[in-house]
Structure 1
Amino acid sequence: MASETKALVARKGRLRQRYDNEYRLVAGCVPYRVTTDGQPEVLMVSTPNRDDLVFPKGGWEDDEDVYEAACREALEEAGVRGTINRTTLGLWVFRSKSSQDSDSPRGACKGYIFALEVAEELDHWPEQDTHGRQWVSPADAYRLCRYEWMREALSALLDRLPVICHCQTPEKVKPTAPNLNERAGMYMMMKAAATADRAVALC
């Protein structure tokens, strides 16, 4: 296992990046687990020079499907593997930091976000020098999320978990939203077609 984890290398560059017209396609997930007392926790990652946390996500490449891309990002950024629920939590359109003031699709991303039930945490992972990881409660996650679309993805996850019936709902734990630049992390949510079956893939 030690030699296997040492061999893991994060993908770099955008030579294989998928696009939908001018939108860069992104895949990510909300990694979660349920504690022994039935409470959900989610795994978030830190990024350099920021105090807030994010969920793992990154470019969807042309030699993988969207589920593989989401699992790969969780492995590269957070060092976790698990079972991905193939019913998306949602599809969001948002802008990169460098294109906040543009109305063109160029520089914008379409992001597919999934739930990932964590089964394994690696001691070493490809991007651990730039991405720390932290298990947090849903209430703390709401406070720490950088953008509103992340809170919406978290809400969609919590709505699905049967254990949430005896936990606080997102509306009860969600703090008052801070004053944000309206264009910073601006997105629109596009309802993805839900499927009745819970198809999963181990990754």
Structure 2
Amino acid sequence: MGRKVAGCVPVLIDAATATPTVLLVQSRWSPAIWLFPKGGVDGGESAKEAAVRETLEEAGVAGAVWGSKLGVWEFASTGQKQKMWLFRVTDVHDKSSKKWKERNKRARQFLSFPDARALMMNVDPAERRMELVEILDAAEKRLAKVQAKAAAKAAAKAADATATASAGTSSVETGDSEESDGSD
């Protein structure tokens, strides 16, 4: 049995525009390859805990896993199976942060999903890792579902607030008309 490996697809949502960007880190072994932070599962930690830890160490970002596991991918180049999660970035550490352990070992960049896909494909075919594109696609699909669910929840909440406000306004209007009726 090989080493257990887990990682995350870190996504940062722009607060002003709600536009998502995905974070890729440069491979330490092949600078042409850009990938997701991942690493070995240490004794005593779950795969999900390892994925979050590796995301901070390799990419210098903190946050939380978004939902259930995206899936498990076996990489043809290494034979490794990797468990992957979608990760919502809430804190981006700069190069001065000691929490970002690999800050001097690899570059990172936030990209749109299409640009990330293009970067993954823009390598020598011998080095191309189609599993990374599959993971990116799964993350993009999951993110779309998460965002649609959040939008529906926000719309329902807004509708409830409007209905409550309308009901309150109707009572006031009815009360006002009764008071001004003068029939008491």
TM over 0.5: yes
User: Which whole-Å CA distance do the structure 2 matches of 1:43 and 1:139 have between them?
Assistant: 12
Runs of 4+ in 1 over 4 A off after TM superposition: none
- 1:153 counterpart residue number: 135
The equivalences for 1:117-132 within 5 A come to 117-123=88-94, 124=97, 125-132=100-107
- 1:63 counterpart residue number: 44
The aligned amino acid for 1:75 is: L
The aligned amino acid for 1:161 is: L
Larger radius of gyration: 2
Identity over the aligned pairs, expressed in percent? Answer: 39
Q: CA deviation at 1:86?
A: 4.4
Q: CA deviation at 1:90?
A: 1.1
Matching residue within 118, 125, 130 for 1:143: 118
Q: Which has the higher contact order (CA 8 A, sep 6+)?
A: 1
The aligned amino acid for 2:2 is: Y
Instruction: Work out the number of aligned pairs and report it.
Output: 134
The aligned amino acid for 1:40 is: P
More helix by share: 2
Q: Is the 8 A contact 1:78 1:128 kept in 2?
A: yes
More strand by share: 1
User: Which whole-Å CA distance do the structure 2 matches of 1:74 and 1:142 have between them?
Assistant: 19
Q: CA deviation at 1:34?
A: 1.8
TM-score by length of 2: 0.66
Q: CA RMSD in A?
A: 1.9
Q: CA deviation at 1:161?
A: 2.2
The aligned amino acid for 1:46 is: Q
Q: CA deviation at 1:96?
A: 4.9
Q: CA deviation at 1:158?
A: 1.2
Q: Is the 8 A contact 1:47 1:130 kept in 2?
A: no
Map Cα deviations across residues 74-131 of structure 1 (whole Å, 9 max, x no partner).
011001110112411110112455xxxxxxxxxx311100010000111221011112
- 2:21 counterpart residue number: 41
The equivalences for 1:14-53 within 5 A come to 22-35=1-14, 36-48=16-28, 49-53=30-34
SS of 1:31's partner is strand
The aligned amino acid for 1:76 is: E
User: Which whole-Å CA distance do the structure 1 matches of 2:67 and 2:39 have between them?
Assistant: 17
Q: 1:95 to 1:160 in 2, by over 3 A?
A: closer
Map Cα deviations across residues 128-151 of structure 1 (whole Å, 9 max, x no partner).
111211001101110122411111
SS of 2:69's partner is strand
Q: CA deviation at 1:28?
A: 0.3
TM-score by length of 1: 0.61
The aligned amino acid for 2:6 is: A
The aligned amino acid for 1:147 is: R
Q: Does 1:93 align with 2:77?
A: no
Q: Does 1:114 align with 2:85?
A: yes
